[in-house]
Structures are given as C-alpha cells and as structure tokens.
Structure 1
Amino acid sequence: MKTPWILAAALFSAGALAQGIPVRIGVIGPFTGGSADVGTTMLNGIRMAVDEINAVGGYLGRPLELDIKDDFADPEKGLAAAKELVADKVVATIGVCDNGVGMKVVDVFQQAKVPLLIPCATGTPLTTKFPPAQSFIFRTSARDAIQASFIVDDILKRGWNRVAVFADTTDYGDAGLHDTTQALAQQGVKPVYVARVASSAKDVTAQLAEARAANANVILSYAVGPEAATIANGRKIMGWKVPQVGAWPLSFPNYIDGAYGGAEGSLMAQTFIAEPSNERRAAFLSTYARKFSMSRIRVPVAAAQAYDATYLLTYALLGIRNGDLSGPTVKNALENIHRIYYGVVATYEKPFSPEDKEAISQNMLVVGLVRNSSVTFAHPEDARRNLFVQRKK
C-alpha cells in the first residue's frame, strides 16, 4: 500500500534532515499465549505503517523505531512492560489488547505523561479512568459502550427481545456486562437471564439450559474467544439454534475455529471487514498479504486499527516542528491533528481533542456475520455504505 501522498508531502516539505537519532515508539501487546493472534496481528499493522513512513523520511528525517514488549495478556507482566517502556523514554506507546492489562498499564503511562494509543482493547473504563483534558490515553478501537449499544439496536430490530447475556469473569466481561445491561435498559429491555462464564470454562451447558428455560431467543455474549466458543459449542451440543451475537471477539480465530462450526451465523460489531470494499481497503489487504505472506489476516480489525493508530501518531508528530517530543507536547499534538488522515478504518478529521480521546464513533460500525468460517457483512446496506469510508460523528 502506498503511503498517502499528503504524508509524503508533509515530510518532504519540512525539509527532511539527514537521517538522525531514531524516534522510539513503544509497542505493548500479547505476542505469546492464547491472545497472540490479536497481538501479533496488531503488531503487523504497526510494522507495516512504520515501514511505509520510514520509506519517506520518518519524522523530519529521523526513522521511527519500535520498542516491543510482550505482555503475555498478563496484567502483572503488562505492568512491568509498561514501566520498561517509560524507562526506555519512548515518545508514545501503541498497544494493549487485554482489558485487564490495560487497567494496570494506563496508570503507568498517565503518571509518566507518556501518550498511549490503544488500537485493540475496548473496555470502556480504559479511557474514562482519568478526566479527559488531563488524560494521556487515546484509542482507535471501538469502546464497548458503543459496541453494546450498536449490537443491541441490531438484535431488537430483528425482533430478538428475550436476551440471555453471557459474560466472562474477566475485567472485559465485567465492563461488557455493565455496558450491555445499560444498553438494553435504555431500550426498555431487561435480560431474561444473565450468566457469568469462568475463564477457561469447558462446559456451560447447565447455564445454557437455564437460559433456554427462560425462553431466551438470542444469546448476547461478552467473552473473549475461547469462552465464547465454549458457549457456541454448548448450543451446538444441545441442538439449540438460538443466535449468538456480541462484540468484536466473535470475529477472532479462537472463537470461529474453536467452535467447530458452532460459530456459523454469529453476528458481531466490527469497524473493518476484510473485503476490498473500497480502494484504500483493497490496497491495505493486498499489501498485508504480500508483506506477511498470508492470504488471510488472522484478526483484520486489530491490524487495520493499529495501522491507522500509527499513522495518526505520525501525523501528530509532524505537527511538532521544533523537535520537542516530550509527552505533554505529543499529547497536545494528538489533540490537535490538523491534517485529515484518509485511513483504512475511517477518514479521520480531528479524531481527538482535549475532551474526546476516542477516534471511533458508532456510525463507523457495521454488523459482521460468520459465514463459511470467515467474517463478512451481515447487511447488504453495510456493504454498500462501506464503499465510502466513514467519518466521525
């Protein structure tokens, strides 16, 4: 994928200096273990963007250099990794896929006044923990509050109003359960059944039987991939053909592959569907396939959101003309990006401000559908709408 011409023009018009000291950017994510699919795909998106940016001069002739830390999806290891990145004096960090890790590391970056751009983790509390004007925490993924509201709107339009909510017992499940029940309440709907699914649970058929006895006509799951797959497998074993819907983890390989066919027909909120629905996305997909020698992106949303986050950070840095890359200066630059970035997920015009650290708004979401073990558009109108990349509302 060619670097956007506007970025190249900005770099060269600045009179790129002779190659200088690298600009260190931290990356933190789960590159080992059960969440590695998400973390590695995120990292690939970041690397792809950095290679393109460095090819046209980096930051005023200084190459971007990644300082990569594996958090293993473990909050304590993530905490240690975040402290290492701060000690390494990175100008900003891109990362966090696990909400439990996120709730640990946001304190580190906030206290150190080092911006953190989150392209994967969606827990609503991550960007509400600190007052917006003082917050150094930014995000290019769709927070669960808008995902929950979006998917609730969709299922109620389909007439599925007897909702059984299954949430795992992680920080992700806690926050998702809160957002889901709140979204339902705003529509005047109360779940007919609520279940908490233990991490690594292998059998939830007893809870599913209770949900069926409550006459649920849809399961709204807020669980990471393996636990969501356990729910799908239980439905399949029971022969209960109720639909399963949820947030973006229902697009993960460990859900789709782990459910052994039970995931077919599942619906989920997505910011990006890996189909060449417009020129930008077609170029992104073909470049990713060539660069990483794979025909299928394991977690397309993670790659696309991380790619866009890297460019947004670079656009912010290019607004700093005096070379002052201190944390508060970079924060201010992120809040005042003046150039429009024509990204893969969205067209970003003033994505952040002192009052708003979320780049994604609900109008950017589409409903994804698992079909033949891949994710496609659930609604023809979403596919048509995606011919044009959405802007924030």
Structure 2
Amino acid sequence: MATLAWAQPGTAPLPAPKPPIRVGVIGPFTGPSADFGVPMLNGIQLAVNEINAVGGYLGQPLELVVKDDQADPDLGRQASEALVRDKVQATIGFCNTGVAAKSLEVFQNAHIPLIIPCATGTALTTRFPAPESYIFRVQGRDALQAPFMVDDLVKRGWDRVALFADTTGYGEGGHNDVVAALAARQLKPVHVARFALGVKDLSEELKRARAAGANVVFTYTVGPENAVVANGRKALGWKVPQVGPWPLSFPNFIEGARDAAEGALMVQTFIAEPSNERRAAFLASYARQYKVRRIPVPMAAANAYDASYLLMYALLGLRDGQISGEAIKASLEGRMKTYYGVVATYDKPFSPQDKEAISANMLVMGQIKNGAVTFAYPEDAKRNLFVQRKQ
C-alpha cells in the first residue's frame, strides 16, 4: 500500500524526502587499534552531523555505513566487500597499513573513492597508476614522516640511529622509508631490530643497540610495543631519546610507558591546542559531543573530520548532480572549492597525478611533556596559528 504525504486542502502534496547518500566507514573500532580507530570514527561522525544539520548534499543527508575491521586484514577485506554490496558512494577509512593494503583493490575495482585519514604506509596511494587510482589520503604518509624526523635528528646531532620496527606491513614500509631518509643524509642505522607485534621484552635488542653506540632510538610500530622499548630503555638505565612517527602520540605508548615516555618526539599533522578559531571550534565540538576532556588520538580525529568535509566538497563540485564514483573522483581531483579545514587549508588537495592531501610543510614536531603531546618547538606553536596550504 502506497504511503501518501498529507497536505492541507488546496495545497500541493509534500515532496517525498530525498534518499540518503551512503558513505562507508571502515576502521578498527574494537581490538588493539581501537585507541585511534574510535577517534577517527568520531571525527567522521562529528563532520557528518554538522553537514546533515545544514541539509546535507542538496537536501540529501549523508548516511554512514560503519564496518569494524578490528585491525585484521582478512576481516577488513570482508568488510570492504560488504560496503560494495551495500552500495556506498564513497568510503572513508583504514587506520592500519596492512589492513588497508589487502582491501585497496576492492574499492579500485568497484570505482568507489576511498579516502584514508589514518593509515600512513607510503605504498597505499601508489598501488595503482595515479590517473586511474580511486585511493586518496588525508594523512602524512611515511615517506614524509620519516625524512621529517631524520632531518630533525641531524639538526640535534643525533646521527647514530638504532631502528626498531615491527614486522607488519606498517613496520616494513616504515623501516624502508627511514633507511632511505638516513641514506639521503649519508647515514645508516647502527643497529636494526625487527620484532612481531605482541613482543613483551626487547632488552637484548636494546643492549645490542647500546653496544653499537646508538644515541637515539627510532621506533616504527603502531601498538604498545613502543612502550616496551621505552620501558626497556628505562630498565637498562640507558638515557637516549626515543623518536618516531605519529604512533608515539597514542595512549598505549604514553600511558604504557609513563615517565619513560617523557621527552619522546613524534611527527604530527595536528596537536590538540586551540591555536586558531577553526581548531578551537573543532576541539570544543568534539568535547561537547563525546563528553571527553581530551581526544585519545587527536590527529586521527582531525584528519578524519577534514576527510569527511573534503568528500562533501567533492559532492558539491558535481556539475550535474549525478552522483557516481567516477564523478566524485573527478571532483576530488580538481573541481572542488577551497576547504578551510582543521589540519590544513585544502586548495586543490588532489589532482589526477597526486592523491596525497598532506605536504611536508603541514607537519610539526610533537613532544611528550607531562604525559601529553605538545609542540616540541616554540616556533612551530607560533606557525600553527596559521593553517598551512599544500606546497
């Protein structure tokens, strides 16, 4: 039986509501990587709530179809295939490089744009020829993070690097990027340690690194293994700095290592300080919606929030209102208006040849101070008053 829209006598029937635009979201919302998967999901939901509050896309709300990959590559592949069956128009997601790598072809073959706000593995956006690729990213890839950190080490005089990297796809890619960044400076690691996730004791590897004369420990892992390294250094009484990519800002490191985490340096795109109006508004909205005083991994939330708005701006760039994966891809690559985001100002963030929205000038150095992440350099804090544009 048909449902009729009631109207007062003499008035036209109310128009039927427009169908929602289905947007996939995939990430580790339970399991060992949930500490940054949940903030990613929350950042997406916060943006979508704001977008829908002002009418969505021409009256069509965005509807999130959420899948939990539990940081498991096989589950991620199954969830990705389910999103295709669910007929999503685009997807935002993936925190773990290895999980994303196993699912990329699902979105590529279905011509469904995928915007990655967290996973940093350099190879993710180079799997397919750039003009044909449906894989985009709003995150500083490892090929940016590794040389950014290496440049800082050289500036500080720390040139004898012990490299500790896990054996996941993330750790393997990060290891290769760090070695390449060091080679560009005519340097080599004085010691390399590889380990599986779940390791509880790396004291023997740390002793070897100390014997090799290392004056800094560069860790490339995403889990509590960062804390295993820090606590092992403390137990040995080995007072050398620990540095690395953005996972050193995660709670499983800061809380797991406690005072052994103090002073650690890591690469960031976003530090949760209200340095300008956009960032202050985002932090206040997140705190209000999720009733928290501190975002567990602010970078995951902010990158995902911006990725959601970039998708919305891509929709608004569709010239004929006809939504398809091909049309969204083309809009992301050049038809969008400038989006003044939280992490950056996105003026032509993508092109047919470039699927990376984050450039090196958008990175800052974070440091653990009193159990929280803040700016390592006062000049970065001042520079952060102005949101950067891609270079």
Q: Same fold (TM over 0.5)?
A: yes
Letter in 2 for 1:214: A
Task: State the Cα distance separating 1:198 from its structure 2 match.
Answer: 1.7
- Taking the TM superposition and a 5 Å limit, the aligned residue runs for 1:194-233 are 194-233=192-231
Question: Which of 99, 104, 107 is the aligned partner of 2:105?
Answer: 107
Instruction: Give the alignment's TM-score, normalised by structure 2.
Output: 0.95
Partners of 1:171 and 1:376 lie apart in 2 by 29
Q: In 1, are the aligned partners of 2:254 and 2:261 still within 8 Å (CA)?
A: yes
**What is aligned with 1:241?**
239
Task: State the Cα distance separating 1:337 from its structure 2 match.
Answer: 3.6
Letter in 1 for 2:328: V
Give the stretch that moved more between structures: 60-69 or 314-323.
Answer: 314-323
Task: State the Cα distance separating 1:207 from its structure 2 match.
Answer: 0.1
Letter in 2 for 1:318: L
List structure 1 runs of 4+ shifted beyond 2 angstroms: none
**What is aligned with 1:82?**
80
Query: Per-residue displacement from partner, 1:71-96 (whole Å, max 9, x unpaired)?
Result: 00000000000000011110000000
Task: State the Cα distance separating 1:321 from its structure 2 match.
Answer: 3.7
Structure 1 residues 174 and 88, CA gap change in structure 2 (3 angstroms): same
Query: Per-residue displacement from partner, 1:238-289 (whole Å, max 9, x unpaired)?
Result: 1111000000000000111111321111000000000011111111111110
Partners of 2:16 and 2:379 lie apart in 1 by 49
- Taking the TM superposition and a 5 Å limit, the aligned residue runs for 1:256-295 are 256-295=254-293
Query: Per-residue displacement from partner, 1:293-337 (whole Å, max 9, x unpaired)?
Result: 000001000000000000000000011143322111111111114
Structure 1 residues 342 and 18, CA gap change in structure 2 (3 angstroms): farther
**What is aligned with 2:183?**
185
- Taking the TM superposition and a 5 Å limit, the aligned residue runs for 1:23-42 are 23-42=21-40
Partners of 1:31 and 1:276 lie apart in 2 by 27
Partners of 2:334 and 2:258 lie apart in 1 by 47
- Taking the TM superposition and a 5 Å limit, the aligned residue runs for 1:297-312 are 297-312=295-310
Task: State the Cα distance separating 1:18 from its structure 2 match.
Answer: 7.0
Task: State the Cα distance separating 1:19 from its structure 2 match.
Answer: 4.0
Query: Per-residue displacement from partner, 1:168-211 (whole Å, max 9, x unpaired)?
Result: 11110000000000000001111111110221000000000000
Question: Which of 51, 54, 58 is the aligned partner of 2:52?
Answer: 54
Task: State the Cα distance separating 1:151 from its structure 2 match.
Answer: 0.4
Partners of 1:88 and 1:366 lie apart in 2 by 39
Q: In 2, are the aligned partners of 1:225 and 1:250 still within 8 Å (CA)?
A: no
Structure 1 residues 18 and 140, CA gap change in structure 2 (3 angstroms): farther
Partners of 1:198 and 1:88 lie apart in 2 by 35
Query: Per-residue displacement from partner, 1:352-392 (whole Å, max 9, x unpaired)?
Result: 00000000000100000001111000000000000000010
Rg larger in 1 or in 2? 2
Partners of 1:106 and 1:80 lie apart in 2 by 12
Secondary structure (helix, strand or coil) at the match of 1:324 reads coil
Q: In 2, are the aligned partners of 1:18 and 1:61 still within 8 Å (CA)?
A: no
Task: State the Cα distance separating 1:107 from its structure 2 match.
Answer: 1.1
Question: Which of 157, 167, 170 is the aligned partner of 2:168?
Answer: 170
Q: In 2, are the aligned partners of 1:109 and 1:116 still within 8 Å (CA)?
A: yes
Question: Which of 350, 353, 366 is the aligned partner of 1:352?
Answer: 350
Secondary structure (helix, strand or coil) at the match of 2:342 reads coil
**What is aligned with 1:5?**
none
Partners of 2:82 and 2:16 lie apart in 1 by 29
Partners of 2:167 and 2:201 lie apart in 1 by 15
Query: Per-residue displacement from partner, 1:115-153 (whole Å, max 9, x unpaired)?
Result: 000000000010011110000000001000000010000
Secondary structure (helix, strand or coil) at the match of 1:26 reads strand
**What is aligned with 2:4?**
none
Name stretches of at least 5 consecutive residues in structure 1 with no aligned partner. Answer: 1-16
Structure 1 residues 337 and 308, CA gap change in structure 2 (3 angstroms): farther
Partners of 2:265 and 2:196 lie apart in 1 by 22
**What is aligned with 1:117?**
115
**What is aligned with 1:43?**
41
Name stretches of at least 5 consecutive residues in structure 2 with no aligned partner. Answer: 1-14
Partners of 1:43 and 1:160 lie apart in 2 by 37
What is the aligned-residue RMSD (CA, Å)? 0.9
Q: In 1, are the aligned partners of 2:32 and 2:223 still within 8 Å (CA)?
A: no
Question: Which of 324, 327, 330 is the aligned partner of 2:325?
Answer: 327
Secondary structure (helix, strand or coil) at the match of 2:354 reads coil
Partners of 1:228 and 1:131 lie apart in 2 by 34
**What is aligned with 1:336?**
334
Structure 1 residues 379 and 18, CA gap change in structure 2 (3 angstroms): farther
Give the stretch that moved more between structures: 313-322 or 200-209.
Answer: 313-322
Q: In 2, are the aligned partners of 1:341 and 1:348 still within 8 Å (CA)?
A: yes
**What is aligned with 1:383?**
381
**What is aligned with 1:148?**
146
Q: In 2, are the aligned partners of 1:284 and 1:344 still within 8 Å (CA)?
A: yes
Q: In 2, are the aligned partners of 1:58 and 1:64 still within 8 Å (CA)?
A: yes
**What is aligned with 1:71?**
69
Partners of 2:317 and 2:16 lie apart in 1 by 19
Number of residue-to-residue matches in the alignment: 377
Question: Which of 21, 25, 29 is the aligned partner of 2:19?
Answer: 21
Secondary structure (helix, strand or coil) at the match of 2:322 reads coil
Task: State the Cα distance separating 1:346 from its structure 2 match.
Answer: 0.2
Partners of 2:179 and 2:159 lie apart in 1 by 13
